[in-house]
Amino acid sequence: MPVLASHRRIRSRSAKPSPAVGFTTAALAGVTLLSTQSATAAPSDPKPSIEEVQKKVDDLYRQAGSATQEYNKAKEATAEKRREVDSLFEEATTRAEKLNESRRALGAYAAAQYRTGAVTPTAALLFADSPQAYFDQTQLMDRMTDQQRTAVSDYETQRAAAAKQRAEATERLESLTDSQQALRISKQTVQTKLAEARALLSKLTAEEKARLAAIEREKEAEARRKAEAKAEAEARARAEAEAERQRRESEQPSPETGTGTGAEDGSYAAQADKVLAFARAQIGKPYVWGATGPSSYDCSGLTQAAWKAADVDLPRTTWDQVEVGRRVATADLLPGDLVFFYDDISHVGIYIGDGKMIHAPKPGTEVREESIYYMPIYGSVRPV
């Protein structure tokens, strides 16, 4: 008898991936994903060149210089507001004393009326919200002596003045608070700009720092060449002026009083000598933003202190100093003149002749002599 085939259905085994196959698939997927991301990711910003770093650092220092002038302006305004508030408080104290004297006088009248049994009118007056309105009653005014009426009038005057001064003091305090806020903001701005400049410089390699120093030397050399050219031009102008003076003296030997221009130039030169003597004595002292001496200076603090040595009071900021005196062309500069730089007038130096100046350059440097052509010139003034 033939053997019957089995009718049981043979179940096929489902193929399960081996662990090795699973890991390989995942790895391939990861590689594909990373490759796709790398292909679509935006390229990183290229590293700036040394020239770009120098330009950025110089710009940050200039912005810090401008913010320093904002700080100086806010500091000066804050000091002025504080003096006003202090003065108002002193006046308010004096006014309060006068008000108390008037109040004591009224109290004395009230006590006297109490002793005589007539307490009600004056006592009511002393404690009323509006004594003047109360005394407007004809009947009561008729019962008061002239001395009492004078005391009441004085009390009302002092009370009104005291209220006015309190309101004015409150307004000045609000203004002082605004000035203090401006001072804090400008200070923070200066610190932020300087920190950004330091951060940029700190990222440079030794080789890059050397290249940056070389660029600075080239910039200084170019500025010196321009200063030397100006010095030669000034020397020629002086020689020509001296030759012209001698020619006139030979043609007309008798003394003349002249128009006064020479005397005026001599007076300015005498003041300028004091300014330059002071400025030279500060060479080597550190630049500190917001400083006005005597151990450190910012740019406008130095010019202000130098001209103070010649008994000339200059404003605190470069923006105000540029408005003092009269404008002069670069070709007509005399020692003592102030030279301003950048479009935002954020820097100033004292001209010493031969295309050079004494100035307090920037944080990390000291007061020094330098060519006026090291920075872009905005304009110049003769303070007196």
Q: Which residues pair with 339 in a beta bridge?
A: 349, 380
Supply φ then ψ for residue 4, to 5 degrees.
-80, 140
Contact between 321 and 243 under an 8 Å Cβ cutoff? The reply is no
Residues 335 and 171: their CA atoms lie apart, in Å, by 46
The residues near 77 (Cβ < 8 Å, ≥ 6 apart) are: 179, 182
Query: What is the chain's Cα-based Rg?
Result: 41
Q: Which of 187, 230, 285, 359 is catalytic?
A: 359
Q: Which of 74, 223, 279, 299 is catalytic?
A: 299
> What are the b/e assignments for 75-93, b being 16+ CB within 10 Å?
bbbbeebeebbeebeeebe
Reduced to 3 states (helix: H, G, I; strand: E, B; else coil), residue 54 is helix
Task: Give the torsion through C-alpha atoms of 24, 30, 35, 40, to 10 deg.
Answer: 160
Contact between 304 and 292 under an 8 Å Cβ cutoff? The reply is yes
Tokens of 230: 């100006």
Active site residue 7: no
Residues 8 and 172: their CA atoms lie apart, in Å, by 105
Q: Which of 285, 347, 362, 382 is catalytic?
A: 347
Reduced to 3 states (helix: H, G, I; strand: E, B; else coil), residue 327 is strand
Active site residue 347: yes
Residues 134 and 156: their CA atoms lie apart, in Å, by 12
Active site residue 51: no
Residues 351 and 354: their CA atoms lie apart, in Å, by 9
Peptide bond before residue 294 is cis, with ω within 30 degrees of 0: yes
Question: Which positions are annotated as active-site residues?
Answer: 299, 347, 359
